[in-house]
Structures are given as structure tokens and as C-alpha cells.
Copies of this chain bind each other. A is one copy, B any other.
Amino acid sequence: MSDVQTDMERLLKALDQQHQAGCKTNDIEVLRTLSQEIRDSNLECHIGIRGDEIVSVRGRQTRQVGLAIDLGTTKIAGYLVDLTDAKIIATNGITNPQTSYGGDVIARLGAAMGDAGDAFRLRAMAVEAVNKLANQLCSDVDMSPKDIIEAVLVGNTAMHHLFIGLTVSQLARSPFLSTVSEALDIKARDLGVNIAPGAYVHFLPNIAGFVGGDHVAALLAIEHTVTDMPIIAVDIGTNTEISLLSQDGITTVSCASGPAFEGAHMRDGMQADSGAIERVKIRNGSIRCQTVDATSPIGICGSGILDAVSEFYIAGVIGEDGKVNNNHPSVREGKKYLEIVLVDKEERDGMRDIVITQNDIRELQLAKAAVRAGIQSLLDTSGCHEGDIKQVIIAGAFGSYIDVGSAVTIGMFPPLPLDRFRQVGNAAGTGAVMALSSMKERRKIQKLMSRTRYLELAGESSFTKSFIQASYLGQYRLVNGVREEFY
């Protein structure tokens, strides 16, 4: 009777003794569980604190973990992180179920714009996938999603808007406006994400309508390793984001490189799954193909096409303008286009040949031209020269597969020594994990954003010119605006 402190007062006093003064919570779910958890644990419980907010009170002994999600258009990658030492303790990836609405973001934005029910279903699909991933990761280490006291989610702006449930009609139409670009902290339960009762999902800021928090996360991870500037950071996909990091700040462009790198819109194109030709070399006139998982070839993925075009270009089978030379023995007349045969049907038990068509080469030319012209625009705007670039950092799944030498040969990247290129894998995921584990990293992101400028290529007159010139194969340099061979 003489001790009439409220449960909250008792809790705050205990935190005070643990040098956690000034904590508080207004979270209805934390408040609802508080008195019971305290009593169930016989006054010994584990408190999740975020800044000065109590986000979880748990009776049973538990590690406190966080969840980082890279919500890609095609794939969702999840990382479970022990927040006491920032170590990744489980990781997994699943296909984004929204792909049933179309492989690219435009199809999904269109569906969400046209019908509120579709917008709801797209959101529910992604949320359910994240919950599934969280469950899988937690069960891998014998924990419960309720132990996740913080999450970070990165994704392109379309994924971000669809996941939160923001209106997308203004995002899908020129001038492609986001509702919001600042970092957001949203209660997980408001999103339908089932983790600790009071936990938040932190969304990294977006740079523009087509440059999302995933690129920001990649920049965070990349900046961490940079010693010498300027550098180019490029994340290749259906949409390619490219940033120039220099002493003057960061300039970012976005260019529609199309689906060629994903193996789509190609006659024998496929994703980088088992049986996809991922490497092509010509040695002594004979074509050697390497497939994913070293199984029998069934098609060709983006990195394979890149290699093939580079090798056939060097061999003179494909000209600088991308035209296939009909005189070569591997070339034949196809139904619509000239074709280069990579794998003969003789080797495939009677199934048809695997070929690259003239049209496939055109698709690749457009894709690689977008990347190169984007880089060129960044250089033009900043007054940098190609040779000044200390590093080209290639992020993302596709970027990790490619042969950089081939990419340089066909002119997708500037003609720099190969040791200036670095393939870093999923930098967005790495950055998300960094932002998850450390408020200091989040403050760094704020600073990074204040130094970052978005350059809209559609408004740049020089871009179209660069693009046309970059669509040629081979290396070149511009002399007074005119293309001049480099090799």
C-alpha cells in the first residue's frame, strides 16, 4: 500500500538505473502489454528502446534483432541483424509476388492507378511477402518476429509508394512526382507488418520519382568504402541509377535501360537461373558458353548477351554500328533477322538452336547506351573528365554477374583501366543493414541527401546526342562533340 507507483514509473525508474534516462512511450500496443509482461516476468523484463521511445516490453529472455528489407521490383532480400553487435544472423531472398502484375514498375503503377482494389492487393502482396520473409528468417535462428524491434525498408520509389499505400497516379505520369521523399518512420502495425508491438519501419529517403531509397542505401554503403573521388556508382536494372560522387557533392541520374539486362525481350533471353548462358568467349574461332549451375544451356541471360556481343564485336562479326556481318560461319538468316548461333541444335537433342538475333543486339545497344549516356551527362554537368574517375562501383545483382571487360569493350562504361572497376553486389542491402543498426548512419544519410542533387535527363539537351553516340559499339572519345575511335 505504501508503494503506489504506476507500472510505467517503476519501469522508467529501472531504466534510469540502467543509464537509460528520459525514455517514454505513447504506443498503445506497448501500453496494453506493459502491466501483464511485467507481472508475467516477475518484474524482470526486456525493454526495446528506439531513441527515447520504448517499443517493446517482453517478459521472456530474448535477443533484440532488427530486420532490413531490400524490396526490389523482382526480388525481396531480407537480413536479420543482431542489434547488439550489428551482425547479420540470417539472410534470405524471395520473389516479389507483385511480379504477377508485371515484371516492371510501370505495369504495377498502372494497375494501382486504375483500381483501388489492385492498389490494395499490390500492397497486401508485398506486405505478406515481407511478413513471410521475417517469419522464415526468425525461425532460422529460433526466434519470433515479435523479437524484431526495428525494421528498415529500401526500394525504388514505386515500391516505396505501393508498400506504404501512397497515391501513385502523380508518380506514374510526367513529371513523376513523389508524395514524399523524406525518410519516414511508420509504425509497423500501421503497415500490416507483424513484428514487435511498438516497432517502426524506417524508410530511407527517396531522391526522385525514379531514384529510391535503395539507391540511397547503396550510396551510404559505397561512401563508406571510398577514399578517393570522384567516383561513379551505378546500379543497373530495368531502371539504372547512376551517381557521381565528388568533392562538390553527389549528382544522380536515372535512365531507362529497359529489360535487356534482365534477358527480357530477347529471342532466347531468360533470367539468370540454372541453364542460362552467363559467359561467352570465342577462343581460336570456337564459341564457349558457361551456364549458371553448369547445366545444359536453355537460354541466355543479360551477362551472357553482354559477353557475346563483346566477343563477336572483337571478332568482327558485329560491326561498330551493331550490324551483324553475314559472312561469318556462325551467322545465318533467321525468320526475321540475321542470327548468330551460340549453341547448335545438334548439341541440344534436337531442341532448337540458341541464338542472338540482330534485334537482340539492338536491344542491348539501347540498354548500354542509356547507361553510358547517363554517365556522360554526369561528367558533362560536373565538368569532370573520364580519366579523372578514380573508381566505377557497380552495384546490384546484374552488375555482380557481368564481365566488366566486355562491358568496357562494347562501350557501356568509359575506357578506364579494369582495376578501377569494383563490383560490390547488393550495396542497397548492405546500406539498409547499416541504417538498421545505427542512428549515426541515419544521420549520415541526412547529410548525404543534403549533398545530393537529382539531374533530370529528359531536360538535358545533350543527353539525346550522347545517347545516339553511345549506341555504337566500341570505345570512343568525344572531340569537340564528335565521336572519335578510342581503340
Using a CB–CB cutoff of 8 Å, the interface residues on chain A facing chain B are 1-9, 24, 26, 28-29, 31-36, 39, 164-167, 169-170, 174-182, 184-187, 190-191, 208-209, 454, 456, 458-459
Contacts and interface: CB of A to CB of B under 8 A. Distances in A.
Given A7-B179, A7-B180, A34-B179, 8 more contacts: A2-B459, A4-B454, A6-B179, A29-B190, A31-B164, A31-B180, A34-B180, A35-B167
Q: How often does this chain occur in the complex, in copies?
A: 2
Given A9-B181, A179-B8, A180-B34, A190 B2 contact: no
B184 A31 contact: yes
Find the residue from A176, A184, A185, A459 having the highest chain B CB count within 10 A: A184
B3 A184 contact: no
B4 A177 contact: yes
A456 to B, nearest CB: 6
Nearest to A190: B28
A174 B174 CA distance: 65
A456 B179 contact: no
A377 to B, nearest CB: 15
23 contacts: A1-B175, A3-B175, A4-B176, A4-B177, A4-B209, A4-B456, A5-B177, A6-B180, A7-B170, A7-B178, A7-B179, A8-B182, A9-B181, A28-B187, A28-B190, A31-B179, A31-B184, A32-B164, A34-B166, A34-B180, A35-B166, A35-B170, A35-B179
A186 B190 CA distance: 13
A176 B8 CA distance: 14
Contacts of A166: 31-32, 34-35
Nearest to A10: B177
A contact face: mostly helix, strand, loop, or mixed: mixed
A10 to B, nearest CB: 9
B170 A28 contact: no
Contacts of A208: 4
A213 B1 CA distance: 22
A480 B5 CA distance: 35
Contacts of A165: 28, 32
Contacts of A177: 4-7, 35
Q: Which 8 A-B pairs have the closest CB atoms?
A: A35-B167, A8-B180, A6-B178, A28-B190, A35-B179, A6-B181, A1-B175, A36-B167
A458 B29 CA distance: 33
Contacts of A33: 167
A454 B5 CA distance: 11
Contacts of A170: 7, 35, 39
A28 B165 CA distance: 8
A28 B191 contact: yes
A281 to B, nearest CB: 44
Nearest to A28: B190
A34 B167 contact: yes
B167 A1 contact: no
A174 B4 CA distance: 10
Contacts of A3: 175
